[in-house]
Chains A and B, each alone.
Chain A
Amino acid sequence: MSKTSTVDVARREARVGLPDSLSGMPSEVRKHKPGNAIKRLFFSRKAAPYLFIAPFIISFLLFWAAPITRSVMMSFEHRIPGYTEFVGFENYERMFGDRLFWLAVNNSLRYMLLTLVILVPIPLALAVMINSKLGSRKVKAFFKTAMFLPALTSVVVAGIVFRLIFSEGSNALMNQVIGLFGIEPNRWLRNDLTGLMVLLLLAFWRWAGVNLMYFLAALQQVPDELYEAAAIDGASKWRTFWSITLPSIKPTILFVVTISVFGGLSMFVESFMLWGATSPQNIGLTIVGYLYRLGIDRGDWGYASAVGVVLLVLVLAINLAQLTISGFFRKEKR
């Protein structure tokens, strides 16, 4: 136990002369006793950073790297319980002709784009409204709370309520509403368009309040001087919004777009709550839903892995593109 790093020696010397009461550590640590290696490690500034980030590295290796590696390997295999065969790129070829795979991709992309359309501009407009000097403060506080409450519910609870509100019975809320206009009860969850509408409403209901808060926080950071300057120049409200407000809150808009893209692409539980694992004509089938079906329901692990790998590559590509475009890496290096 005579090996002591120079840093340690230096640090120990620095401590010489300090009374025990001041040094704030048990005195036995400072003695060169065998078995103190671990304690010395705790005082080493060279080792410390690696020990600090070790949990992250272990977690990354165990819960990301290992499963992904395994997935890549399984994607070249044909697997049924008790039997495994190497099949090369067969699983990947199968994907091209798989109608359900493309349907799932299509459904997920469509859902993602439409959630972007409703979950960015509308909460932004509401946030601008709240941030304006018009209107009563109490009403605004009430509004913010009401909009935020749905974010506290789980998809399960929200899904149950939406299912019952949009059920086929003539007494269901939405059928009553369209009944006011003389429209016959609708089987909302049985066809593609109304089914998608219910999904989007559910997403909007749960997330609009959170996005609103993001935008509001950003709007409150915009310095008043900018608006004053615009007012002096005689800029209209609309012009001020485009030239001052929007550029000032661009980082937040990018952030909200990013989380909406990934939220949209990985949507599954919402659909699972409205339809269960299978929906009529697969109108609720999403990418993650298809993964779930292939892996958990069918045990077709080889093909499921191939689908998973393709999607992961897709997501990583979008990710890198987005981070590069938004200048995230540049900012990190600074």
Chain B
Amino acid sequence: MSVKTTGPAVGTWAANDRIEQELRKDNPGRNKRTRSLLIVTALIVIALVTLIPFWAIFIGSFQDGPALMRHGLNLGIDLNEAHVDNYVMLFTDSGNYFRWFFNSVAITSIQVTLTLLISSFVAYGFAMYEFRFKATFTVLVLLLMTVPFEMVMLPLFLQMSDFGLLNNYAGVFLPFIASAMTIFFFRQYLTGIPKDLLEAGRIDGVSEFGIFFRIVLPLMKPAMAAMAILNGMAAWNNMLWPLLVLRSPQMQTLPIGLNSLLTPYGNNYDLLIVGALFSLVPVLILFFVFQKHFISGMTAGAVKG
């Protein structure tokens, strides 16, 4: 990176700027305060607009489903007509809703656990050893990182059908557990671990795998947390692939189940809106407890220049 700070062009810029500064000199303090106020106002307005959909769904959960379907959703609520019937229905008569909830929790936990274990295992191989075709495999990981999964979903669907894995948890998570993105992230992290540590383990007679499980794995906790959140969010919110794989209503996850309530007749909108809101609860709780980890986890993919 080169930053030009000298030269005639910059000189002219600087000159212009000095004139500007002269002009501003009357009241620099007030100028700064005005700009500060402008920024604060802009940020608050944008933040509030961003939160509107959350407020809308919250308000909607106290209204009649069929009416929402007909008239749409807005930010006001007639308190005389507000009721908690939708919540009562959610907990007493919501059909498969909690079955979907359970499926989502189960698939997300299995997928995250296996992804962390397998991807770190693979990443260790890439980070700590020299072997033939290493460069080829590394390029393969990089390529897979940016090929959208959707591009292979159709033939993969047929493949899963042949394996007999349709309508099965395994069919949903198996394609994702050797995650290229996660492998790449762990590999970057592991290259920072001193190799002397491994040598010490070898001298002590620990097997190559023992070194990984007993020495390296415990050192990877921060990276694990970040990837748990990234993969967890992806699994919890995944829609397209489970939609293909999970065919029966009992096996569906929350996103597909909720989507199946979205009929043109609007007869399920009561459950739909309260169910959608409730599906956010676990994620929001986890977010407010582990806020910092969430942000670093979900933005962990960025390559460091």
Q: Which A residues contact B (CB, under 8 angstroms)?
A: 11, 14-15, 18, 22-25, 29-30, 39, 42-45, 48-53, 55-60, 62-64, 66-68, 70-71, 74, 126, 129-130, 132, 134-136, 139-140, 142-158, 160-173, 175-176, 205, 208-210, 213-214, 217-218, 226, 229-230, 233-236, 239, 243-244, 247-252, 255-256, 258-259, 262-263, 265-266, 268-269, 272-273, 276, 288, 291-292, 295-296, 301, 304-305, 308, 311-312, 315-316, 319-320, 322-323, 328-329, 332-333
Are A136 and B40 in touch, CB under 8 angstroms?
yes
Contacts of B47 in A (CB 8 A): 142-143, 146-147
Closest residue of B by beta carbon distance from A226: B3
Contacts of B144 in A (CB 8 A): 60, 64
Are B72 and A319 in touch, CB under 8 angstroms?
no
Within B33-60, the residues touching A (CB, 8 Å) are: 35-36, 39-40, 42-44, 46-48, 50-54, 56-57, 60
Contacts of A243 in B (CB 8 A): 3-5
Are A160 and B129 in touch, CB under 8 angstroms?
no
A244 and B5 alpha carbons, distance in the complex (Å):
9
Looking at the complex, which one of B39, B135, B236, B304 makes contact with A132 (CB distance below 8 Å)? Answer: B39
Stretch touching chain A among B10-18, B81-89, B90-98, B219-227: B10-18
B303 sits at the interface (CB 8 A): yes
A163 and B69 alpha carbons, distance in the complex (Å):
10
Are B3 and A63 in touch, CB under 8 angstroms?
no
B172 sits at the interface (CB 8 A): no
Within B249-305, the residues touching A (CB, 8 Å) are: 254-256, 258-259, 262, 272-273, 276-277, 279-280, 283-284, 287, 291, 294-295, 298-299, 301-305
Name the distance in Å between B145's Cβ and chain A's nearest Cβ: 9
* Interface majority SS (helix, strand, loop, mixed), chain A: helix
A-B pairs, 6 with minimum CB distance: A172-B72, A52-B125, A251-B305, A67-B155, A167-B72, A266-B148
Are A268 and B54 in touch, CB under 8 angstroms?
no
- Indicate whether A305 sits within 8 Å of B155 (C-beta atoms), given known contacts A56-B141, A269-B239: yes
Name the distance in Å between A160's Cβ and chain B's nearest Cβ: 5
Are A328 and B3 in touch, CB under 8 angstroms?
no
Contacts of B70 in A (CB 8 A): 169
B157 sits at the interface (CB 8 A): yes
Are A288 and B150 in touch, CB under 8 angstroms?
yes
Name the distance in Å between A66's Cβ and chain B's nearest Cβ: 6
Are B156 and A67 in touch, CB under 8 angstroms?
yes
Looking at the complex, which one of B43, B135, B147 makes contact with A135 (CB distance below 8 Å)? Answer: B43
Q: Which B residues contact A (CB, under 8 angstroms)?
A: 1-6, 10, 13-14, 16-18, 20, 32, 35-36, 39-40, 42-44, 46-48, 50-54, 56-57, 60, 68-75, 118, 121-122, 124-126, 128-131, 134-135, 137-144, 146-159, 174-175, 177-178, 180, 183, 202-210, 212, 233, 236-237, 239-240, 244, 254-256, 258-259, 262, 272-273, 276-277, 279-280, 283-284, 287, 291, 294-295, 298-299, 301-305
Contacts of B305 in A (CB 8 A): 218, 248-252
Name the distance in Å between B229's Cβ and chain A's nearest Cβ: 10
A316 and B13 alpha carbons, distance in the complex (Å):
43
Name the distance in Å between B163's Cβ and chain A's nearest Cβ: 9
Are B121 and A52 in touch, CB under 8 angstroms?
yes
- Indicate whether A143 sits within 8 Å of B44 (C-beta atoms), given known contacts A134-B32, A135-B39, A173-B73: yes
Closest residue of B by beta carbon distance from A11: B202
Closest residue of B by beta carbon distance from A67: B155
Name the distance in Å between A211's Cβ and chain B's nearest Cβ: 9
Residue among A23, A52, A132 facing the most chain B CB atoms (10 A cut-off): A52
A251 and B13 alpha carbons, distance in the complex (Å):
27
CB pairs A–B below 8 angstroms (29 shown)? A25-B210, A51-B209, A53-B122, A57-B137, A58-B178, A60-B144, A66-B159, A70-B159, A126-B46, A129-B42, A136-B40, A143-B47, A144-B295, A152-B233, A154-B239, A154-B254, A160-B262, A161-B57, A167-B73, A168-B72, A172-B73, A214-B302, A233-B5, A234-B13, A248-B305, A251-B305, A252-B302, A266-B148, A332-B139
Are A134 and B6 in touch, CB under 8 angstroms?
no
Are A258 and B73 in touch, CB under 8 angstroms?
no
Are B74 and A172 in touch, CB under 8 angstroms?
yes
Closest residue of A by beta carbon distance from B237: A154
Contacts of B255 in A (CB 8 A): 154-156
- Indicate whether A329 sits within 8 Å of B71 (C-beta atoms), given known contacts A150-B53, A269-B239, A291-B154: no
Contacts of B291 in A (CB 8 A): 145
Closest residue of A by beta carbon distance from B6: A233
A151 and B177 alpha carbons, distance in the complex (Å):
22
- Indicate whether A161 sits within 8 Å of B36 (C-beta atoms), given known contacts A170-B71, A235-B14, A266-B148: no
Are B154 and A48 in touch, CB under 8 angstroms?
no
Closest residue of A by beta carbon distance from B127: A52
Closest residue of A by beta carbon distance from B44: A139
Name the distance in Å between B17's Cβ and chain A's nearest Cβ: 4
Are A148 and B3 in touch, CB under 8 angstroms?
no
A292 and B70 alpha carbons, distance in the complex (Å):
29
A298 and B125 alpha carbons, distance in the complex (Å):
43
- Indicate whether A239 sits within 8 Å of B43 (C-beta atoms), given known contacts A48-B129, A149-B54, A217-B302: no
Name the distance in Å between B63's Cβ and chain A's nearest Cβ: 10
Looking at the complex, which one of A43, A160, A265, A332 makes contact with B138 (CB distance below 8 Å)? Answer: A332
A164 and B149 alpha carbons, distance in the complex (Å):
30
Contacts of B60 in A (CB 8 A): 161, 164
Name the distance in Å between B279's Cβ and chain A's nearest Cβ: 6
A291 and B73 alpha carbons, distance in the complex (Å):
32
Name the distance in Å between B152's Cβ and chain A's nearest Cβ: 5
Contacts of A52 in B (CB 8 A): 121-122, 124-126, 129, 208, 212
Are A139 and B137 in touch, CB under 8 angstroms?
no
- Indicate whether A235 sits within 8 Å of B17 (C-beta atoms), given known contacts A164-B60, A217-B302, A305-B155: yes
